[in-house]
Structure 1
């Protein structure tokens, strides 16, 4: 299993207006993650608003991310509706110096299992860097079966699977990770997403945490991830419980809007910073977030 896919992978915003990407703010976010010593940085994930950007914008963000990361491994999202566009994004990511790529099965028409398998077969055949399978039915509206994960994990260059949140019950979480582990090669890492489930997923045997919150608050997320990875269940759960109010905000408003508000409050980005039609939090909603943060 490659050492790239371990520990904590932090996913920063791609701050922007309707006219341009805020390159200085984005570079600052990535440099801050490098300095915090996260294990990897995930640019152009869902938190990075990849689906709203043009090919040229995505190429530029990939270049900026690798430069600002200054040696910290960067995973670049390459999802798109058409395979030809995915391949173009993959080429741009590799040319920018990405350590790995992240691929969700995007669609307008619902995809079949065979179509999704063929997507990954077409892309992995052209790659020279590892690929992470992005399993996020909340955004893609495609649900992977473990059997499909097993088929895709057998393809060349597949190195990790980013799974949805594991169950809250520790035994059920362990069974979920073990069930998937039995169907994939030992060389393929399992990463948990859904920040509220991170402690449980890591304690259940996941190799890494793909984190939204770490993109703006890396330090508490690193402490949580490291506690879980050394097997200190009490400390990992305590640290997660300390962030419970943030997890509640994520569930209420969506993690992207909340981390955008956190980044604004911390002075890391200006407002607005999300691509329209997405709107940042205002009024009573923003006041609620600020109260939790205080």
Structure 2
């Protein structure tokens, strides 16, 4: 389940709701490309901006469009009761796994975060992935906390932030030493993925993989084959996109890229989020054309 490339598509959304037809098209495109799993309603999918019903419908749409490819569904929310409801909706939709970030308004303590995963892990029937995303949640996991959580029932993986290539072997080895053997380690932060995979991570949770699966599969397969130099070279070819991610944010860039490729209409981000201006869109188009 937690191996290879997990591609996270945009959930095209405007003030009238989710464009389910466009979303289904994005998911089907990933399945046809041969990704190992599809991540619906992650941060790129804008889960926090959607209602429970919109999220339930998006989960069903993703599973239906995936054609048997495993779908990981994000269930993060402010209250544990909301997370429980979202987990039930996702499982009823046919999700193969769940992705849970410790979403908060009041800063959470380690014990509160552990309690969240303890409550949810014992109630679900599919694997649960711990979503470590301090840039969004403003919560920083210690390795000790990761180890405590991973020992709970049904915890299948940890999704960690990107790691510079020269630090990746030590970082992954240290985390691996605290986790039970069944728990997979997945890297995010697309610009750092090649280094993380080559250092021993089990999978790549990818933003741009939700839009450019072939390029990301090539990086993933090169790392799996032990060809770190090729994985790095393929990633470096995508540096124009990585630079735009750093400048404008990955979701805005992905939104503009999906529009440029004719896969979604405009607007496709929920307010108050706004798409890029004309000059930035030209930069995105130029980066895509260079690839």
Q: Distance in 1 between matches of 2:84 and 2:73?
A: 13
The residue that corresponds to 1:129 in the other structure is: 126
Q: Distance in 1 between matches of 2:224 and 2:149?
A: 27
Give the TM-score of the pair, scaled to structure 2: 0.98
Q: Distance in 2 between matches of 1:258 and 1:285?
A: 9
Q: Distance in 2 between matches of 1:137 and 1:252?
A: 18
**3-state DSSP of counterpart to 2:178:** coil
Q: What is the root-mean-square deviation in Å for CA atoms of aligned residues?
A: 0.6
**3-state DSSP of counterpart to 1:71:** coil
The residue that corresponds to 1:201 in the other structure is: 196
Q: Does 1:145 align with 2:142?
A: yes
Structure 1 residue runs of 5 or longer lacking an equivalent are: none
The residue that corresponds to 1:54 in the other structure is: 51
Residue of 8, 23, 26 corresponding to 2:23: 26
Q: Distance in 2 between matches of 1:57 and 1:283?
A: 30
Residue of 257, 266, 276 corresponding to 2:261: 266
Q: Distance in 1 between matches of 2:228 and 2:282?
A: 33
Instruction: Map 1:1-294 to 2 at 5 A.
Output: 4-169=1-166, 172-294=167-289
Q: How many residues align?
A: 289
Give the TM-score of the pair, scaled to structure 1: 0.97
Moved over 3 A (4+): none
Q: Distance in 2 between matches of 1:247 and 1:100?
A: 28
Q: Distance in 2 between matches of 1:185 and 1:211?
A: 24
**3-state DSSP of counterpart to 1:182:** helix
**3-state DSSP of counterpart to 1:209:** strand
Per the TM alignment, residue 168 of structure 1 is displaced from its structure 2 partner at its CA by 3.1
Per the TM alignment, residue 205 of structure 1 is displaced from its structure 2 partner at its CA by 0.5
Structure 2 residue runs of 5 or longer lacking an equivalent are: none
* Cα offsets for 1:48-87 (capped at 9, x unmatched): 0000000000000000000000100000000000000000
**3-state DSSP of counterpart to 1:259:** helix
Q: Distance in 2 between matches of 1:181 and 1:249?
A: 32
* Cα offsets for 1:100-149 (capped at 9, x unmatched): 00000000000000000000000001000000000000011100001000
